Structure 1
């Protein structure tokens, strides 16, 4: 993994959250947790905006113990437990006080696949990381990894890139998954994925 370069903090702070969600496609999550190293390429994301988006936990700019990390400066991890079962990884974006984040919905394994199989205990390769709860388990990510700065390597969880990232990548834009409660905001075209990638959570 020596050829993976860490993303700079500025990557998470500028541009619209939807643009950052698209730019995260092709970037790499590196997990060095529990004494085991794994890495995966991001292939599907969703954008959330606490200012205007009813699907966002922080809407309307609602500061709670759960959402507090979303109000911190961007570049941090926001990991929460969904339905009491699945940990979901989000990347906080923008300046302090501006609650926005990108959900990582699916990744493609590139390193430590045997470790992912051991953690997930599934036989089919494509089932390893084709969903937000699946990928966190495969990478060893839990709520203990909430509020980590992803532009630093010393926390064991960071985001990087390779020079060839996003070359010849075609991005599909569609509405997000499983947020019918958000009324009209459920129709926002804020889900992005790499076309024809086999690890997409839902076609």
Structure 2
């Protein structure tokens, strides 16, 4: 798949409620020494900082969520539930703590590499959609905490971009859909407390009819 120029950072500097549906149908791509995997995004969730009790940034800046307070057009990657990573795209101007979670998508490049990554911790190979759910999106792309803060530059692998350890960093790009597809909205998946209020926060966006879109599940209250 040819690399399509990523929009400038200003394109991402929008309210996440505006950016989230604009990401639908667009292609998020990550390339490293193993190869490239690209996902056509079919489902997103908006998170809106101090206005949003479901956001990681609701209570302010921490070492974990610092990337979300940076400029738009960067990758916020975190590790959750002691199990998997998740990929977000930072939204809005610097300092807002806004972002959009990439919940699901269709693999459109690097299917075999995505399958290999998804199979790594399983006894049997996965079947069906390889990027259904945020943990599967990150695993298929090969994203880890090393990618946190990466810019969606669209640079070619081999351009000399290195990570903090001096090793060549993965490159990220995003190509918006020429015409964003029709979408539906509803409550975010697995968000507990006030942020999971379906009427107050119908901030999940998805393309109807796509098999990669998650099944809605409300949050399960954990017993202390």
Tell me: CA distance 1:40–1:82, structure 2 relative to 1, closer, same or farther (3 Å).
Answer: same
Residue 124 (structure 2) pairs with residue 112 (structure 1): no
Structure 2 equivalent of residue 178 of structure 1: 190
Q: How does 1:47-196 map to 2 (within 5 A)?
A: 47-60=46-59, 62-121=60-119, 122-126=125-129, 128-153=130-155, 155-161=170-176, 163=178, 165-166=179-180, 169-182=181-194, 185=197, 187=199, 188-196=201-209
Q: Contact 1:55–1:186 (CA<8 Å) still a contact in 2?
A: no
Alignment partner of 1:42 is 2:54: no
Deviation by residue 1:27-47 (Cα, 9 ceiling, x = unmatched): 111110233111110100000
2:18 equivalent in structure 1: 19
TM-score (norm 2): 0.82
In 2, the alpha carbon distance for the partners of 1:17 and 1:161 equals 15
Distance 1:51 1:7, change over 3 A: same
**Cα deviations by residue, 1:122-181 (Å, 9 ceiling, x for unpaired):** 34132x110100111111111110001113425512212354x42xx2201101010122
CA contact (8 A) 2:115 2:126 kept: yes
Determine the C-alpha separation between the residues in 2 that align with 1:178 and 1:65. 23
- Give the number of equivalent residue pairs: 197
Q: 2-side partners of 1:50 and 1:27: how far apart? A: 24
TM-score, normalised via structure 1 length: 0.90
Cα distance in 1 for partners of 2:107, 2:57 equals 31
1:30 aligns with 2:42: no
Which structure has the larger Rg over C-alpha atoms?
A: 2
Contact 2:153 2:171 in 1 (8 A): no
CA separation in 1, counterparts of 2:17 and 2:209? 21
Q: Which residue of 2 aligns with 1:198?
A: 211
CA RMSD of aligned residues (A): 1.8
Shift of the alpha carbon at 1:101? 0.4
Gaps of at least 5 residues in structure 2 are 120-124, 156-160, 162-169, 217-224
Q: Which runs of 5+ in 1 are unaligned?
A: none
2 CA distance for matches of 1:193 and 1:177?
Answer: 12
SS of residue paired to 2:51: coil
